[in-house]
Amino acid sequence: MKQTNVKPADGRLGILVVGNGAVATTFMTGVLMARRGLTKPVGSMTQYDKIRIGKGDDKKYLSYSEVVPLAKLDDIVFGTWDVYPQNSYQAAMYAEVLKEKDINPVKDELEKIVPMKAAFDKNYAKRLDGDNVKQCATRWEMVEELRKDIRDFKEKNGCSRVVVLWAASTEIYVPIYEPVHYTLAALEQAMKDDDREHIAPSMCYAYAALTEGAPFIMGAPNTTVDIPAMWELAEKTKLPIAGKDFKTGQTLVKSGFAPIIGTRCLGLNGWFSTNILGNRDGLVLDEPANFRTKEVSKLSTLETILKPEAQPDLYGHGNDEDTQYYHKVRINYYPPRNDNKEGWDNIDIFGWMGYPMQIKINFLCRDSILAAPLCLDLCLLSDLAARAGRYGTQRFLSFFLKSPQHDYTRGEEPVNHLYQQYTMLKNAIREMGGYEADEEID
Ligand SMILES: NC(=O)c1ccc[n+]([C@@H]2O[C@H](COP(=O)([O-])OP(=O)(O)OC[C@H]3O[C@@H](n4cnc5c(N)ncnc54)[C@H](O)[C@@H]3O)[C@@H](O)[C@H]2O)c1
């Protein structure tokens, strides 16, 4: 590896996962199994992808760990918080994502991962009623208890670094409220004043992580680190943040497929996406206020790839008040399918002289199987970013996210186009490895 300015990945990396549900336990089990050589971390960019370095005769394809110093799977220590007290073995069995034969070899390790008490407010996820919950008088007290959890975990496990990843339920929709969310001082005051309407529990986790020196990643669509107050905190603490909402099934397909329509200058009249899923995530999303958070996140993908204002002839039609194509997303809770989500997309396109055509996509996916490698990559890459001295919103991680964080106060648009995101990802790795950025696709 070339000499870089990135600090080495020495010592143990603590990964503290908020939520000990389907995604979290599938992620943890897979890492523990992979490092014993009992499975393969399929789908993980950090473990499989290769980046071209140099051009022409000099070109080489290197894996990420040959370009930058990445933490090894062997150095990871897991911890978690959840409103239910079951350890990660019990939770993995309950989730029924993985077969018992794929969990049992690491049963002893999973049993040792016992959730710390959650910072939780039932108003933010009405369908949950676990009792492994902190009793806090104010949001500020929540922050202080979480900070203590992080410090204790780090010390007890001899970690040199910690990353905090939110893989807990989607909270109710919290609209951005300028008087509280725009400055750090106002956010801190609201936490002290126990403003429960504007301070979600997830914000307490993020605040605690950043003040304890840990990067924070938001894997759900919650309003958490996508507010100016948190950007200010990330800048002050010089730590990376990333969010939001893992880009796994239908939206991955959408952000990879929409460029086909856009690059061939075909028209779009409408895109209807619907899903059925039956896991606890689906149960929480069955509550309209929680679904709203997800809907906003899922809808945002298409508009920045197929832009009505840039191509009114192609994307300015449809039924959405005649300003653009019609775009609808539905999620239906359907218990028989558990984690095996099924998504349908019906795409109404048009071609030469306006003649209509249809495309149908039916994705029979497995939600947590798709999310687990993203958890690994997001944790390893935000730890890398911290060691490289990068802080604030990490735009190169947009590749993994449905609704990438961006500075809306300055009119910045997120990049949702999968292949542009891939270029951003590779260029950030190249840059951290001391190589030149490159726009070529391979
Ligand atoms: N799997 C995917 O493809 C995918 C994609 C994008 C986003 N997500 C998001 O990832 C999250 C996790 O999904 P899942 O399928 O594992 O759900 P899950 O319901 O199986 O697990 C979530 C866990 O979080 C816990 N929890 C809720 N609030 C908490 C809090 N304040 N503190 C600590 N724990 C808390 C719940 O008790 C539950 O055990 C969801 O928000 C989901 O929307 C998943």
- Model pLDDT, residue 322: 61
Question: Would you place residue 85 in the very low, low, confident or very high pLDDT band (cuts 50, 70, 90)?
Answer: very high
The alpha carbon of 366 and the centre of ligand 1 are apart by a number of angstroms equal to 15
Rounded Cα distance between 22 and 383, Å, is 23
Cβ(219) – ligand 1 distance below 6 Å: yes
Question: With 80 as the cut, is the pLDDT of residue 95 above it?
Answer: yes
| Ligand 1 atom at minimum distance from 285 CA | 43
Cβ(125) – ligand 1 distance below 6 Å: yes
Instruction: Supply the DSSP string of 214-225, one letter for each residue.
Output: --EEE-SS-SSS
The alpha carbon of 19 and the centre of ligand 1 are apart by a number of angstroms equal to 6
Question: Would you place residue 338 in the very low, low, confident or very high pLDDT band (cuts 50, 70, 90)?
Answer: confident
Cβ(168) – ligand 1 distance below 6 Å: yes
Question: Would you place residue 277 in the very low, low, confident or very high pLDDT band (cuts 50, 70, 90)?
Answer: confident
The alpha carbon of 426 and the centre of ligand 1 are apart by a number of angstroms equal to 29
Q: What percentage of the chain exceeds 90 in pLDDT?
A: 81
Distances (CA, A) of 235 to 58, 170, 225, 358, 384: 38, 26, 12, 47, 17
Q: What is the mean pLDDT of residues 208-227?
A: 97
Cβ(21) – ligand 1 distance below 6 Å: yes
Pick the CATH number of 12-246+368-432 from 3.40.50.720, 3.90.180.10, 3.40.30.10, 3.30.160.160: 3.40.50.720
- Per the structure block, which two tokens stand in for 439? 């726009």
- Per the structure block, which two tokens stand in for 299? 């809808």
Nearest CA to ligand 1 atom 31: 120
- Model pLDDT, residue 317: 72
Q: What is the mean pLDDT of residues 146-170?
A: 97
- Model pLDDT, residue 13: 98
* Intrachain domains 12-246+368-432 and 250-364 with the same fold: no
Question: Would you place residue 57 in the very low, low, confident or very high pLDDT band (cuts 50, 70, 90)?
Answer: confident
Q: What is the mean pLDDT of residues 351-359?
A: 96
Which tens digits make up the pLDDT trace of 191-204? Answer: 999 999 999 999 99
Q: What is the mean pLDDT of residues 247-274?
A: 93
Rounded Cα distance between 97 and 62, Å, is 33
Question: With 90 as the cut, is the pLDDT of residue 297 above it?
Answer: no
- Model pLDDT, residue 127: 82
- Model pLDDT, residue 318: 59
Pocket test residue of 81, 133, 169 for ligand 1, highest count of atoms within 8 A of CB: 169
Q: Parse the chain into domains and list their residue ranges.
A: 12-246+368-432, 250-364
- Model pLDDT, residue 96: 93
Range of weakest confidence among 90-104, 307-321, 418-432: 307-321
The alpha carbon of 202 and the centre of ligand 1 are apart by a number of angstroms equal to 12
Nearest CA to ligand 1 atom 3: 367
Q: What is the mean pLDDT of residues 212-225?
A: 97
- Model pLDDT, residue 320: 54
Which tens digits make up the pLDDT trace of 164-182? Answer: 999 999 999 999 999 999 9
Cβ(22) – ligand 1 distance below 6 Å: yes
**Which ranges constitute the DSSP H helices of 157-279?**
178-181, 184-192, 201-211, 228-237, 250-263
Question: Would you place residue 340 in the very low, low, confident or very high pLDDT band (cuts 50, 70, 90)?
Answer: confident
Cβ(378) – ligand 1 distance below 6 Å: no
Q: Which residues pair with 166 in a beta bridge?
A: 18, 218
- Model pLDDT, residue 319: 55
Pocket test residue of 23, 275, 295 for ligand 1, highest count of atoms within 8 A of CB: 23
Helix (H) or strand (E) holding 200: none
Q: Diameter of the chain by CA atoms? A: 68
- Model pLDDT, residue 321: 55
The alpha carbon of 370 and the centre of ligand 1 are apart by a number of angstroms equal to 14
Question: Would you place residue 149 in the very low, low, confident or very high pLDDT band (cuts 50, 70, 90)?
Answer: very high
Cβ atoms of 270 and 326 within 8 Å: the answer is yes
| Interacting residues of 47 by C-beta distance below 8 A, sequence separation 6+ | 34, 41, 373, 376
> Smallest Cα–Cα separation from 219: which of 7, 17, 9, 1?
17
The alpha carbon of 303 and the centre of ligand 1 are apart by a number of angstroms equal to 26
- Model pLDDT, residue 439: 80
- Higher-scoring residue by pLDDT: 291, 173: 173
The alpha carbon of 250 and the centre of ligand 1 are apart by a number of angstroms equal to 17
Cβ(71) – ligand 1 distance below 6 Å: no
- Higher-scoring residue by pLDDT: 120, 54: 120
Question: With 80 as the cut, is the pLDDT of residue 209 above it?
Answer: yes
The alpha carbon of 169 and the centre of ligand 1 are apart by a number of angstroms equal to 3
Question: With 80 as the cut, is the pLDDT of residue 275 above it?
Answer: yes
Cβ(27) – ligand 1 distance below 6 Å: no
Cβ(400) – ligand 1 distance below 6 Å: no
Pocket test residue of 281, 287, 374 for ligand 1, highest count of atoms within 8 A of CB: 281
- Model pLDDT, residue 301: 85
Cβ(282) – ligand 1 distance below 6 Å: no
Cβ(371) – ligand 1 distance below 6 Å: yes
CATH domain 250-364 topology: Dihydrodipicolinate Reductase; domain 2 (3.30.360)
The alpha carbon of 321 and the centre of ligand 1 are apart by a number of angstroms equal to 35
pTM score:
0.94
Question: With 90 as the cut, is the pLDDT of residue 129 above it?
Answer: no
Nearest CA to ligand 1 atom 33: 82
